[in-house]
Structure 1
Amino acid sequence: MVVAGIVAAVIAVGGIALAVYVDNNRYGEERLIEKARAAGFDEKRIEIDGATVNFAEGPDNGPALLLIHGQSMQWEDYASVLPDLAASYHVFAIDCFGHGESAHDPARYTCAIQGQALVTFAREVIGGPYAVSGLSSGGIIAAWVAAHDVEHVTALVLEDPPLFHVTPDEMQKDPGCFVWLDGFTVIHGFLEQDETDDLAVYYAEHSYLFSQFGGLQPKIAEWTRSERAANPDGHLVLSWVPHDWVRGMYFYDDFDPRFSEAFYQGTWVSEDEQADMLESVACPTVYLKAETQYGKDGVLYAANSDEDAERVESLVRECETVRIASGHDIHYEHPAAFIEAVDRACERAGA
């Protein structure tokens, strides 16, 4: 009887753990977004130069802060930090062109065009001084904004931007980098074919990341096909796969893959543009650099290399670098560290 009771208890605990695991995979992200909305964030739209810019605005509880998400994400990617940021800042989180509910127009898929739209957004919506933070390609846009709106940008947070590792030549330098293999070449392949019309399904079938999981890739692809067939208009969630593994696909239903094609073709930004904008940044800057790692095959598993990071540091006049053991999306994985970086940059600016 005692043994039977122990077995029953173990089965019950295992069942609860499995239920929690599945529930988090399916609804964890949604709950974060709900908390952000409950903290007072309202979604709004504005037309800038004939293009829709979608954004979320929080309550006015302090200095203005503009947040720019990374590629294939949207403003909701910041949900894990929005409630805490809203306690001290007046937060504006935008959808970049090609993402979310902002305009999907390939003619606007350059760093400079997006940056200029945000300078205009700041003038028309924020209407005063503001700090700016961006993740990944959003970090490069944030640097562009800081360089071209020096009068109003008070502080800058660069959250693991792929500076000097973002053009095709830079990304293919031996031994190559993860985002080229897992992102741009896969999405280019998707655009070049007509057999699969769902980017999430195509990515699951051809992902470099999932190919490293041995025989698990076909199963992930099968689950992705089933989920997309059942819920074609929703964000992608998979019950049996850890959410962090597939989080990069979560907003694929609102993402224009032609945005990635601009990176593949090398039209989004040039090496010279990157250097020029960094040299023009005048405000206090905190550079959050995720740890540099390499795969067994020598592929760079990071936004950029240590050498690239040193170049960033040499070009930005008031740069304070924080290196952190983290994946790429630092604000999601380490929200407290990200908020501390924002506070630090704003404190240095006297904001």
Structure 2
Amino acid sequence: MYNNLNYYKTPLRETIKAGFEEKRATLEDGTTLNYAEGPDNGPALLLIHGQGVTWENYSVVLPELSEYYHIFAVDCHGHGKSSKNPEKYSAEEMGKDFVWFLKKVVGEPVVVSGHSSGGLLAAWLAANSPENILGIVLEDPPFFSSETSRAEKTFAWVDSFEPIHRFLRQSEEKDYTLYYLKNSYWVNYFGNGKEGIINYAASYREKHPNEKLEFFFLPPSINKIFHYMESYDPRFGDTFYDCSWMENFDHAETLSRINCPSVLIHASWSYDDNGILLAAMDGADAERAHSLIKNNILINIESGHGVHDERPNEFIQIMIDFLNEIE
């Protein structure tokens, strides 16, 4: 049996013990950005999480990283305790709000590290607000693969964005968590065990409505999918289905305008028998992004998509080494 229901509690406790405080900032238009701020032990570091989680997803690396940086870890729009206004669900609108955050809350130029879609935002900030950026660490962002021509052949699309789109256009199932589970791509890997997982989930949700879904018999990698789902707005994911999140955000053009020190972390990748990319980028995508960013450092690492979570020591070392790049 897995010790999978405590995987997040200890890192979060250690994060709070390290001096992190959860705060909120409100823009002039009423948008709320929830964030955690750590002790001031170095250059400012903005952490932007990936889709479907919150700032707490960084907890496993926050205590040690905070010994070197003054960390601001935000909840993205549509996630956690930040505002859930679909009008803000685009790289451009979120980017503008994060520029406001850098100027009004942080108050000094920052290093930005973003994971997945957060990495896309880190690139947007470096290209469009260079005066506020010391450098960027891009953690396995879906460059090119999440643009219109490629999106439908990615795991994120078939597992998340397409089910979200269908969920929002039906009325029979009100529980997004259950709908997602039944229609996810990964649950099919369990073969004959699929129905048992779905039945257990339905029973659990009936007994524990509005609580996060937990499977005591499945590993943390599965439970983490559902840990933050109650505070996630599916309408955010729908903007990746129709690619409206990418409006006025061409990846190649954006990358070519980045002039600050940068690191691109690329995790393991593969295609399945259906031609679905089971990763954020394939090797060619990573090399293309690397070639477009001036003086970029490309780091290939054997890891799943969540490098900071799965390979925390390596991620922390990359961030420590990056201090030499911005001096």
Q: Normalising by the residue count of structure 2, what TM-score does the alignment of the two structures yield?
A: 0.96
AA aligned opposite 2:133: V
Structure 2 counterpart of 1:45, one-letter code: R
Kindly state the Cα deviation for residue 217 of structure 1 after the two structures are TM-superposed: 1.6
What are the equivalent positions in structure 2 for 1:75-154 lying under 5 Å apart? 75-154=55-134
Does the aligned pair in 2 maintain the 1:204–1:217 contact within 8 Å? no
Deviation of 1:246 (Å): 3.3
Q: Is 1:216 the counterpart of 2:196 in the alignment? A: no
- Give matches, 1:182-331, under 5 Å: 182-270=159-247, 273-331=250-308
Q: Deviations over 1:5-59 (max 9, x none)?
A: xxxxxxxxxxxxx4xx2xx221221222222112111110011232000000011
Task: Tell me how far 1:63 sits from its aligned partner.
Answer: 0.9
Q: Which residue number in structure 1 is paired with residue 45 of structure 2?
A: 65
Aligned to 1:333: 310
The number of residues matched between the two structures is 326
Amino acid at match of 2:25: I
Deviates more, 1:317-326 or 1:298-307: 298-307
Residue in structure 2 matching 1:38, options 13, 17, 21: 17
Q: CA deviation at 1:228?
A: 2.5
Q: Distance in 2 between matches of 1:301 and 1:113?
A: 28
- Could you tell me the percent identity over the aligned residues? 40
Query: Is 1:129–1:154's contact at 8 Å kept on the other side of the alignment?
Result: yes
Distance 1:118 1:271 in 2: 17
1:25–1:242 contact (8 Å) kept in structure 2: yes
Amino acid at match of 1:218: E
- Cα distance in 2 for partners of 1:223, 1:343 equals 43
1:104 shift after superposition:
0.3
Residues 235, 318 of structure 1: alpha-carbon distance in 2 compared, 3 angstrom cutoff: farther
Q: 1:331 & 1:220 partners in 2: Cα distance?
A: 28
In the alignment, the residues of structure 2 paired with residue 201 and residue 193 of structure 1 have an alpha-carbon distance, to the nearest angstrom, of 14
In structure 2, the partner of 1:4 is none
Moved more, 241-250 or 310-319: 241-250
Tell me which amino acid in the other structure corresponds to 2:10. Answer: R
Instruction: Point out the more displaced range, 246-255 or 102-111.
Output: 246-255
* SS across alignment from 1:303: coil
Per-residue deviation, 1:233: 3.0
Deviations 1:170-220 (A, max 9, x none): 213xxx221111111111111111121121111111111111220122222
- Counterpart code for 2:278: Y
Q: Which moved more, 1:203-212 or 1:337-346?
A: 337-346
Q: Select between 285-294 and 32-41 the one with higher mean Cα deviation.
A: 32-41
**Which sections of structure 2, spanning at least 5 residues, go unmatched?**
none
Superposition RMSD in Å: 1.4
SS at 2:300 equivalent? strand
- Do the aligned partners of 1:63 and 1:89 also contact (CA within 8 Å) in 2? yes
Q: How far does residue 270 in structure 1 lie from its aligned partner after superposition?
A: 4.8
Kept in 1: contact 2:84–2:233 (CA 8 A): yes
Q: 1:271: Cα distance to partner?
A: 8.3
Cα gap change, 1:270 to 1:105, in 2 (>3 Å) = closer
* 1:26 pairs with 2:5: yes
Structure 1, residues 75-98: CA drift from partner, whole Å, max 9, x if none?
Answer: 000011011111111100000000
Structure having the higher Rg: 1
Deviates further, 152-161 or 304-313:
304-313
Distance 1:225 1:83 in 2: 37
Moved more, 255-264 or 304-313: 304-313
The 1-side partners of 2:300 and 2:169 are apart by 38
Relative distance call for 1:108 and 1:249 in structure 2 (3 A) is same
Report if the CA contact (8 A) 1:167-1:266 is conserved: yes
